[in-house]
């Protein structure tokens, strides 16, 4: 009975936003979005406020990305001082749930927004779930991808009839492609962040998944033969450096610069660098380029991904009124419906209705790599996993030396495993 009453209240409140029946609601919003993401989100918020001028106003604040953001959310929610809604990485949800920081997105909420499990890719939906309860609404999927210099690949005979790179699958084939590119005058085959094992963990984790490997979780890290599989994944990058296909100890900005300057034919990076390429291309400062899902190095396609999502903090002692809650759901519903614009930041819209639209399918290179939605892996369901987490720290501390051939890959994997096993 309470559920029916709650649903009725929310539905009534949502309907009221179409008229003048209720006072204007203010929705306090926190995000961690900078760069091109921040510019686009500010535009979405501006458009929402203009469209809802008489009913709902988003009052937005942007905070520092990573641990500072999540720490502030936790401490603020614990004393009832958190926002009404916020952006949240799907990979951080298990920790937040263990801390009691997030409210469940209930069946009534999903009904009110007109969304549900069928609205999203199954892996993305699963990423915002803990113990069969949903704690966020996915807004995008943001994987890593392979950027490529189409001019250089075309000259090397590595572009297929469909206009996309060809002959890259398989460890040996990919090395042969990089060798051919370098023999054609390119300084490096690959630009990737070899100075930061935490960032490169996204690539390494992808190659573990391509072997049907599993990181495991708290109390059971790298079960079975997964240490051996992870060693093989680390060795892929170590061999690129050893063989001269990728430069050693390359930081993030340098990797981007190597690719955009044409010194490297490939770059592995997040889809969030798409705006960088688009802007340079508009300025006439970039070659023909593209981006595709990671080539298959092992058994099958698989790529690491995370999701920006919308979550509602569990503000202790400060329950939202039905009107306030309805306003929050209206904000999320509207953002989901307008996520095509968010896709211009390189992200894949989480909402199927958007990523299956003709408009999105015409968006390049986003639509080309969107097929990886069927071939992706998120962080393990652990309070120690996710962006800016102990898992990424452990990988970062262990794998930088291994990628640069200062320690062997197997030793680095054991170091990471020992670090994780010591976590509480």
Parse the chain into domains and list their residue ranges: 2-139+307-361, 144-304+389-421
- Contacts of residue 36, defined as CB under 8 A and 6 or more positions apart, other chains included, come to 272, 275, 276, 345, 346
Q: What band does 12 get if pLDDT is binned at 50, 70 and 90?
A: low
CA 224 – CA 166 distance, rounded (Å) = 35
Indicate if the pLDDT at residue 10 is higher than 70: no
**Domain 144-304+389-421 fold:** D-Maltodextrin-Binding Protein; domain 2 (3.40.190)
From residue 420, how far is each of 200, 286, 353, 395, 403 by CA, in Å?
A: 18, 42, 39, 9, 20
Give residue 22's pLDDT. 61
pLDDT at site 14: 56
Residue 26 Rama label (left phi>0; alpha psi -120 to 50; beta) = beta
CA–CA separation, 330 and 322 (whole Å): 12
Task: Report whether 105 contacts 280 (CB < 8 A).
Answer: no
Q: What does the pLDDT look like over 252-291, one tens digit per residue? A: 999 999 999 999 999 999 999 999 999 999 999 999 999 9
Q: Is the pLDDT of residue 1 over 50?
A: no
pLDDT of amino acid 2: 46
Report pLDDT digits (tens) over 352-401: 999 999 999 999 999 999 999 999 999 999 999 999 999 999 999 999 99
Sign of CA dihedral 146, 149, 153, 159: positive
Give, as one character, the DSSP assignment of residue 300: S
**2-139+307-361 maps to which CATH number?**
3.40.190.10
Query: 104: which DSSP letter?
Result: -
């Amino acid at each position: 009975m309470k559920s029916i009453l709650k649903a009725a209240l929310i539905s009534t409140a949502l309907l009221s936003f179409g008229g003048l029946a209720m006072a204007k609601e203010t929705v306090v919003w926190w995000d961690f979005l900078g760069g091109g993401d921040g510019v686009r989100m500010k535009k979405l918020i501006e458009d929402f406020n203009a469209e809802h001028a008489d009913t709902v106003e988003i009052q937005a604040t942007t905070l520092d990305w990573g641990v500072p953001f999540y720490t502030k959310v936790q401490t603020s929610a614990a004393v009832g001082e958190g926002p009404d809604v916020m952006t949240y990485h799907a990979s951080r949800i298990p920790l937040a749930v263990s801390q009691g920081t997030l409210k469940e997105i209930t069946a009534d909420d999903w009904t009110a927004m007109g969304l549900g499990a069928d609205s999203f890719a199954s892996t993305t939906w699963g990423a915002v779930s803990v113990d069969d309860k949903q704690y966020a609404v996915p807004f995008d999927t943001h994987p890593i991808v392979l950027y490529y210099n189409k001019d250089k690949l075309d000259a090397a005979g590595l572009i297929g009839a469909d206009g996309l790179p060809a002959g890259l699958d398989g460890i040996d084939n990919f090395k042969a492609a990089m060798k051919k590119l370098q023999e054609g005058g390119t300084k490096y085959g690959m630009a990737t962040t070899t100075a930061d094992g935490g960032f490169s963990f996204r690539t390494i984790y992808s190659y573990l998944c391509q072997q049907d490997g599993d990181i495991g979780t708290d109390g059971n890290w790298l079960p079975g033969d997964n240490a051996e599989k992870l060693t093989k994944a680390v060795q892929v990058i170590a061999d690129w450096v050893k063989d001269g296909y990728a430069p050693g100890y390359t930081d993030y900005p340098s990797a981007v610069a190597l690719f955009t300057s044409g010194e490297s034919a490939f770059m592995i990076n997040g889809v969030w660098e798409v705006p960088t390429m688009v802007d340079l291309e508009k300025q006439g400062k970039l070659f023909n380029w593209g981006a595709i899902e990671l080539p298959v190095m092992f058994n099958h396609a698989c790529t690491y991904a995370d999701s920006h999502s919308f979550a509602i903090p569990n503000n202790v002692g400060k329950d939202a009124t039905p009107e306030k809650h309805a306003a929050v759901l209206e904000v999320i519903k509207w953002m989901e419906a307008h996520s095509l614009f968010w896709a211009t930041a390189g992200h894949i819209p989480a909402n199927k209705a958007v990523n299956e639209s003709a408009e999105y399918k015409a968006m390049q290179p986003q639509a080309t790599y969107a097929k990886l939605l069927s071939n992706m892996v998120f962080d393990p369901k652990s309070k120690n996993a996710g962006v800016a987490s102990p898992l990424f720290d452990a990988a970062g501390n262990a794998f930088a030396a291994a990628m640069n051939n200062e320690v062997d890959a197997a030793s680095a994997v054991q170091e990471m495993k020992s670090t994780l096993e010591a976590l509480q």
